[in-house]
Structure 1
């Protein structure tokens, strides 16, 4: 049986009685309390000068207004739609996206991706902090209490593309031994005086390669390859040294890429291999990822930082500096977990006039009976500030010896006081006090201890208890929403700059959803969750 049906691109021709259905105005189909209306209103009031600067004044005008495209992307991230193809599909089918387009044609996935990675990359952070200041202008945030925390999210990189610093250094050292042997042979064979230094390896190797190359040309050496061919001695030396030159170039490039890290990914050089809490194999396997830091106030994310460091210790200072620079405001109180505690961090907050509510790393241990009964701990020794000496459990004095210096990974140098016991001979408590063969020694950073004590007293106060409780609710809750409700566990783009742009779109959408929820639930102006009253 044959059919007379002819397929065409326009499927409306299949309907015999196709009729346009009213209303044409999509505004009547969007609920009055829909978050897309709030998003459009809020984003309309921002200054898009930086975004328009990203476009060239020459050439064709963008197919879609940059402001409209920005709205589309922020709304897509607020609705858990992240891929460019998913956003394109939503623009064609979803009535809210059609409303944002305002009658314009839906952009294709390449246009969306190009906007996200080329044009928005220079403007999205400025627009985000404009929105944060807008929240400040309406009284939603006060720049009073900032809750800091971090999490790790997997990079868009091959999980087995790791480059380890120890491996690079080990292989380079082995190669340098072979290079020295070959250079010594070349000096003997051709009466030369080439030298080699590990600090200037590439330049030294290059000078030898240049010499061998010129000698091959002078002697008109014909290079031969393949089975049955016997390359001359000079050809072998040149090719071997050329291989060392190429390897040294790769080693130097890898050492520049590390930038203080112990690893990076070949498919995303900015990504570092880290332990992730979440994983499909649940075996703690190292994966390439980024350390994301956020600052939260009144449940809104008010600051964002993307770092390649595996821990949070050295992220606090640059994070706060960047937030202040971008927003133009400084927070009064900084609340963070024990992973952020450092002498450098305490001094920075004191210098800026900010109050530290940072939990000491030993806070939980101090509560335990086993810690209080541990005679080896400095905290359990009595200290005489006048004589500057400690007294151990056996009554022996640990006297001051000298002051040394300790340099952190960030370059900060702290003063460390060294103490030594006069005589531990025959002490019945020595096994419990120290594992050292000689007399007991003690290293103390007096400044750090003093600043830690101030922060400790802050967090155990009534206000500090309330702030610590809110830190676990607000900032950890924000990460919980982003990773579980928004299903955001892996980046789509590569490189720290692109990753930060992507994450800013996500938190932009999160904040607008949070503002929408507060408006609808009558919680505007709500800053802190109160402590529960105990009976």
Structure 2
């Protein structure tokens, strides 16, 4: 009996990338989705090529890379650059291209609004295919309970604690907003601040109702 051994690293082999990617791979879904998108209408830069200068990457190619990264929780531009070198599915998806982390980062920065339109198109496609109804609300960091549990009952101490927590979160987001220069991060922070402000109004209403009642 002997160990299970692998292939000889120095042996030349004829391998097609198509054979290395599973038929149900998420990379194939991304490839198909991006190919049917009206990239020029969405507002991506460098859709129309110039006659002079260094040729840019096709925005559709970089978009495929980003969508693959979102699916597999690879958000850092440096990690995406590394993945292009070691990930077989990305070799297939990008046709062997390996953009630098700077190229990847600038693409995200310069096409923030186009990215939002892409995600809207994705949701509309899912609705047209009957995969979603479009009536589900996703709320970050919040859970809804279907019964009257302790989390659905509020005391003055509990309300005060929530208000203090929300105020601290708003201060953190506002401080981060003052420091960042990236428009994409600014929009995200503004939406988080608005969410916390809406939550604060809810607890202020509960606070008023509790004080006006004879209950504790």
TM over 0.5: yes
> What is the alpha-carbon distance in structure 2 between the residues aligned to residue 111 and residue 269 of structure 1?
18
Report what 1:107 is aligned to: 99
How far the C-alpha of 1:82 sits from its partner, in A, is 1.6
Report what 2:213 is aligned to: 377
Query: Which one has the bigger strand percentage?
Result: 1
> What is the alpha-carbon distance in structure 1 between the residues aligned to residue 78 and residue 57 of structure 2?
17
Report what 1:83 is aligned to: 76
Secondary structure in structure 2 of the residue aligned to 1:149: coil
Is 1:40 aligned to residue 25 of structure 2?
A: no
Do the aligned residues in 2 keep the contact of 1:68 with 1:101 (CA within 8 Å)? yes
Distance verdict in 2 for CA 1:83–1:270, change over 3 Å: closer
Task: Encode CA deviations 1:147-200: one digit per residue, 9 max, x unaligned.
Answer: 252459xxxxxxxxxxxxxxxxxxxxxxxxxxxxxxxxxxxxxxxxxxxxxxxx
> What is the alpha-carbon distance in structure 2 between the residues aligned to residue 94 and residue 61 of structure 1?
27
Query: Which one has the bigger helix percentage?
Result: 2
Task: Encode CA deviations 1:355-378: one digit per residue, 9 max, x unaligned.
Answer: xxxxx964xxx9xxxx7xx8x528
* The one of 258, 264, 267 aligned to 2:179: 267
Report what 2:113 is aligned to: 122
Secondary structure in structure 1 of the residue aligned to 2:175: strand
Task: Encode CA deviations 1:281-301: one digit per residue, 9 max, x unaligned.
Answer: xxxxxxxx97969xxxxxxxx
Secondary structure in structure 2 of the residue aligned to 1:147: coil
> What is the alpha-carbon distance in structure 2 between the residues aligned to residue 92 and residue 123 of structure 1?
26
How far the C-alpha of 1:267 sits from its partner, in A, is 2.4
Q: TM-score w.r.t. structure 2 length?
A: 0.63
How far the C-alpha of 1:131 sits from its partner, in A, is 0.9
Distance verdict in 2 for CA 1:269–1:20, change over 3 Å: closer
Distance verdict in 2 for CA 1:270–1:307, change over 3 Å: farther
Report what 1:70 is aligned to: 63
How far the C-alpha of 1:90 sits from its partner, in A, is 0.7
Which ranges of 4 or more aligned residues in structure 1 deviate by more than 6 Å? none
- Aligned Cα root-mean-square deviation (Å): 4.0
> What is the alpha-carbon distance in structure 2 between the residues aligned to residue 112 and residue 28 of structure 1?
27
> What is the alpha-carbon distance in structure 2 between the residues aligned to residue 306 and residue 290 of structure 1?
9
Structure 2: stretches of 5+ with no match in the other structure: 1-8, 143-169
> What is the alpha-carbon distance in structure 2 between the residues aligned to residue 291 and residue 61 of structure 1?
32
Do the aligned residues in 2 keep the contact of 1:47 with 1:127 (CA within 8 Å)? no
How far the C-alpha of 1:53 sits from its partner, in A, is 5.0
Distance verdict in 2 for CA 1:137–1:269, change over 3 Å: same
Is 1:140 aligned to residue 131 of structure 2?
A: yes
The 5 A counterparts of 1:381-400 are none
How far the C-alpha of 1:51 sits from its partner, in A, is 5.2
Do the aligned residues in 2 keep the contact of 1:312 with 1:340 (CA within 8 Å)? yes
Report what 2:146 is aligned to: none
The 5 A counterparts of 1:245-264 are 263-264=174-175
> What is the alpha-carbon distance in structure 2 between the residues aligned to residue 306 and residue 62 of structure 1?
37
Q: TM-score w.r.t. structure 1 length?
A: 0.28
> What is the alpha-carbon distance in structure 2 between the residues aligned to residue 46 and residue 75 of structure 1?
16
The 5 A counterparts of 1:136-175 are 136-143=127-134, 145-151=135-141
Report what 1:187 is aligned to: none
> What is the alpha-carbon distance in structure 2 between the residues aligned to residue 136 and residue 86 of structure 1?
32
Distance verdict in 2 for CA 1:111–1:290, change over 3 Å: closer
> What is the alpha-carbon distance in structure 1 between the residues aligned to residue 76 and residue 182 of structure 2?
21
Paired residues, what number?
A: 174
> What is the alpha-carbon distance in structure 1 between the residues aligned to residue 44 and residue 187 of structure 2?
30
Between 1 and 2, higher relative CO (CA 8 Å, sep ≥ 6) is seen in 1
